[in-house]
Amino acid sequence: MKPKYKFLSDEFLNKAIRVLVVVLLSLGVILLASQFSSIWFSIVNAVQKVLVPLALVWLLSLIMFPLIKLLERRGVGPRGLSVTVVFVGTVTAFFLIIYFLLPFVEQQIRDFFANDWPAVQSYFENDFRDDFILGPDLYDWILGTINDSTLVEDTISNFADNLASVVSSSLINIFAVVVVLPVLLIYYLLDFEMINDTIRSIVPKKYEKDASDLGSRLSNTVGAYIRGQLLLMLAIGIAATILYRLIGLQYFFIFGIIVGLTNIIPYFGAIIAMIPVVIYAVITSDTGPGPIVVVLVNVGLQMIEGNIFQPIIMGRQLEMHAIIIIVSILFFGSLFGTIGVIFAAPMAATIRVLIEFYRDKRNTANQQNLDLRKP
């Protein structure tokens, strides 16, 4: 006899019990973690120090390994030779770009501090109060609160007290980036297939095909996203530099580089890049294009990126909803700081691949069940 009410059915009760067990276990884990917070944070910190370099190596390998395979298909081998060509070529290209661009950037920075920095200082000391968007009274209150508080002094004091640990931590991070990261990357590229096969061998035999499929999806989707994002940064940086030059903005090259570099952070990057150029346009409005023109140019840049560059470079299949990316930036930024903010979009792409894989597997299983029920 079926129950009168659907919520009393065995299926509903089983689902309710499973949800209740998951909730209780989650609360238990949270309670246990709160009781051992110092140990927990030490473990999280240690895991973070290991995961961040490994994640960077994996992401960089997704950029470089297709080039290695392309060289091998063209007869450049063995693997050690193709890895050497790609690695040395990438490093050489990076330093050549720095070598040719650095003098021009340095000259613009020198000109800025020699010619415009006094005007910037004068603006913030004298005129910024009147132009403050929330009114001069609120500006006076904020400034008075800052002056009356000991926040600045405490920050300086704490920084001085922790200077040794800050310096040692920075040296460790620099060592990890300059020495450890390239070594890990080279070894990973040399044994790319073997390492992936080893990871797949850990998976039980019945799930090996699924693991291989998931790994291929992750490599293809996330790799395409990262390579596309780098091309987007280059394209939008060049476009910004050209447009800033056309409207007569001084230091157009520096501002164009800022636009290109900050474009690695979706949505927020455009806002971050707009702030310094708009402030400069306000200060030099008598001789420059003015803030309204600069804002319109930046809005136009975002329209060009969204309607031209992104569909061509990234393709519709790699687009992600704005809410997903923003939540990812907030979440991974809180976990891993600046690195988390920069790589939030690739991490979001990874999660999306996992969700799509699970959905496809579920749909396949449901379809197989329907086929079995057919007479």
Q: Cα(159)–Cα(161) distance, rounded to whole angstroms? A: 5
Q: Can you spell out the DSSP letters for 134-190?
A: T-HHHHHHHHHHHHHSSHHHHHHHHHHHTHHHHHHHHHHHHHIIIIIHHHHHHHHHH
The answer to whether the pTM exceeds 0.85 is: no
Compute how many other C-beta atoms are within 10 angstroms of the C-beta atom of residue 368: 10
> Using one digit for the tens of pLDDT, what is the confidence trace for 24-78?
887 777 776 666 666 666 776 777 677 778 888 888 888 888 888 888 888 887 8
Q: Is residue 87 part of a domain?
A: yes
Q: Is residue 22 part of a domain?
A: no
Same domain as 222, residue 168: no
Same domain as 239, residue 338: yes
Q: How many CA atoms lie within 13 A of 330 on its CB side?
A: 5
Same domain as 126, residue 244: no
Same domain as 247, residue 192: no
Q: Does the CA dihedral 98-228-47-50 come out positive or negative?
A: negative
The confidence band for 244, taking pLDDT boundaries of 50, 70 and 90, is very high
Same domain as 55, residue 194: yes
Same domain as 272, residue 179: no
**pLDDT, averaged across the chain:** 77
Q: CB under 8 Å to 190, separation ≥6 — which residues?
A: 79, 80, 83
Q: Is residue 264 part of a domain?
A: yes
Same domain as 328, residue 218: yes
Q: Cα(29)–Cα(45) distance, rounded to whole angstroms? A: 18
Q: How many CA atoms lie within 13 A of 49 on its CB side?
A: 13
Same domain as 233, residue 92: no
What residue numbers bound the domain in which 231 lies? 207-358
The confidence band for 256, taking pLDDT boundaries of 50, 70 and 90, is very high
Same domain as 288, residue 221: yes
Q: Kindly give the residue spans of alpha helices, DSSP state H, lying in the chain.
A: 10-35, 37-73, 79-111, 117-122, 128-131, 136-148, 151-161, 163-175, 181-190, 192-202, 208-246, 252-262, 268-283, 291-304, 310-313, 322-336, 338-342, 344-373
For residue 313, which of 219, 222, 242, 230 has the smallest C-alpha distance? 230
Compute how many other C-beta atoms are within 10 angstroms of the C-beta atom of residue 137: 10
Q: Is residue 11 part of a domain?
A: no
Q: Is residue 78 part of a domain?
A: yes
The confidence band for 241, taking pLDDT boundaries of 50, 70 and 90, is very high
Q: Is residue 372 part of a domain?
A: no
For residue 346, which of 232, 221, 215 has the smallest C-alpha distance? 221
SS3 321: coil
Q: Which two tokens stand for residue 195?
A: 């390492």
Same domain as 176, residue 136: no
Compute how many other C-beta atoms are within 10 angstroms of the C-beta atom of residue 342: 16
- 67 vs 166, residue with greater confidence: 67
Q: Cα(186)–Cα(332) distance, rounded to whole angstroms? A: 27
Quote the number of domains for the chain.
3
Same domain as 167, residue 307: no
Q: Is residue 134 part of a domain?
A: yes
Same domain as 197, residue 213: no
> Using one digit for the tens of pLDDT, what is the confidence trace for 291-343?
889 999 999 998 888 778 877 776 655 566 777 777 888 888 777 777 777 77
- 240 vs 226, residue with greater confidence: 240
Mean pLDDT to the nearest integer, 363-370? 74
Q: Is residue 332 part of a domain?
A: yes
Per-residue pLDDT, 158: 57
SS3 1: coil
